Every structure is written in structure tokens, then in C-alpha cells.
Structure 1
Amino acid sequence: MPVFPPLRVRGSRHRLRRAVRRRRRAMAAGLAVAAAALAAVGARAPGHPDTGPPPPGAVAAASTGVQQAGAPSRPAAKAVDVVSAPVRIADAETVRLLRPGDRVDVIAAPDSSPVGAGGSGGAGGSVAARLVASGARVTDVPRSRGPSSPDEGALVVLSVPRATATALAGAGATSRLVVTWC
């Protein structure tokens, strides 16, 4: 048998390096896409609650790529504090129709009970009803614990801004409150 020189394949080492480089690029591209998707979804670390959508000023600053001077680097808290406000509604039968998640308007109607001698409900004239809260979300409708009279009304818990909760408490002390669905 004839003697053959050893067979040398040229460029095999370079092909292997090119394949590894291509695989690294594909891996880097995949990781970049995954990071972008997580950023778009708004993934949060465990234990950090979702603060909701950012305020309008933060969206404008983020879209232009310019951070406002003195603006915090983390998402700002909501501009309006939302609180739960228990409200006694004059008509108990209307409250029985409410369910959590419903949106209601709360209206303060002048109290028609006698104020002084003579039995008139005011100074002789009629006082117009006023809107106290608009688009309030019902969070809970507690059931009454015992027999109650229809004049007593019923309790409903609303999710409203802090200033509106204050207005509801004041109106509930001086007027009869009624609700309408939004």
C-alpha cells in the first residue's frame, strides 16, 4: 500500500470559532428580546407591589428620553391617595342592589326631617341636591347584622380620593345621601 501524507483539513479551527461566535450572538439577541419584553410588561421583584400606571408627567419624560431635574429614578407614587370611605346611604333597598365593582355617583339631598317648631324642613325654601362624589367605586356592601328600620339606611364602602372622602363624611352628617349608577 502506498504511503499517504497525513490529511489536513484547512480552516476547521476557524469554522468552529465562527460557529461559537454565531451561537453567542443568537444567545445575546434572545436575552435582549427577553429583557425588553420584561421591561414592557413591567415585571416587579417579589415583595414590591405594583404602583399602577405612572403619572402623566413621567410618561412624557420617558417618551422624550429626558429625565426631569430632581425627579426620582423609581416610579413615582400615585398623585391622588385613594381611601376606603364607609358611607350611610338613606335608601337601604338601593344599597341592596349594589355589588362590589359598581361605579356610583353620591348625591347629598337636603334632610327633610323637622328642624324646629312648625315642622318645616328649612327656611321655607327648597335647597337643591348637590353631587358629592362622582364615579366612586363600590368596594364592599356590608350586610346589616340585625333588623333595621328603612329610615336608618344602609352602609356601603366606597373607594374615593382622600378629599372626596372628607366631603362625603361632612355631607353624611348634614344631609341624606343617595346613589345613582354611573
Structure 2
Amino acid sequence: MNTDSCLPHTRTSVPPPCGVPQFDPLRVRGGRLRLRRALRRRRRAPAAVLAMTAAALAATGAAGADDPVPQPPPPSARAPHRPADVPLVSAPVRIADAATVRLLRPGDRVDVIAAPDSAVGAGGDARVVASGARVAEVPRAGETRSDGGALIVLSVPRSTATALAGAGITSQLAVTLC
């Protein structure tokens, strides 16, 4: 091949055509297989996400359109029912054991139990005064009585607040977490 014919001439603005050597066309092998593999990989990711979602829904027990509507637990298994229109009041309650009170946080649900005070001379067994009461406030560190008691504030209906006040006079009060 003559390379001098490909050099630009100074007299004309367009160079003369250069010859292109003859060569066989390129054939890439396996191109279809690579394309198929790529498509398969792209299908695996959505399939894996779909499988993980289905497993999560099955684990949480989410009900589908054909599944029966889940029934609420029987009344014995859930907290006592309180009508929504009953107003709540704040009831300060002195709990005999300050160490137990340190376990409480605002928002916890507790049962308040009255145990007869031996100093008052009242006889009888312990009884539940309030069931499922919500803790509104707890004392900060160091706010306990010298005898080891601590004051907490509960949100309860007015009738329960009255029962708590009466029981606090004649009994030592304790709480259990619900």
C-alpha cells in the first residue's frame, strides 16, 4: 500500500481517498450466552426480594384478603376494658419499696396491690386495688423517703383514684408490671 497517497496535498482542501485493507468480519462468540446470563441475574434479584417479603409477611402473621379476620384475644388475656369516655385523673401513690419504683418508666402499666400494714393492725390478705394503671411520673434519683418508700403518679379513673387513696392510708402498696 502506498502511504504517500494518503498524505494531504497542499493544493486541494480534501485529501484523496485512502485504501482500507481487506479483513474478515469479526465474529464474537458467546454473546447470546452472556446476554442470557445477565437477564437471569436481573431476574434473581427481584425474585429474592419477593421471597424475603413473603417470608416476612408469613412470620408476622399478616392476613391476606382470603384469610379470616383475626379475632381479639379473650377478655381474660387482655387488660381490663375501660370505656374511652371515662376521664382519667392523676393519683399520687406511695409505694413501700423504692427499689421496685426504680424499675418503672412513664407509660408502663402496673397493678397496685394493697398489703395489710402490721402497724395499723388490719388483718386479711393482699388485694388488687388498681389493675392496668398507667404510670405518669416516677421520682428522680434520690427522691425517696427515709423509710424506703417512693411516690409515683398514676393515671386512673376517678373511682380508682379514690380506692387508691383509701388503701394508701390503711395498707402498704406495692406494684407489679403488667
State the TM-score, normalizing by the size of structure 2: 0.49
TM-score in terms of structure 1 length:
0.48
Q: Which has the higher contact order (CA 8 A, sep 6+)?
A: 1
Which has the larger share of helix? 1
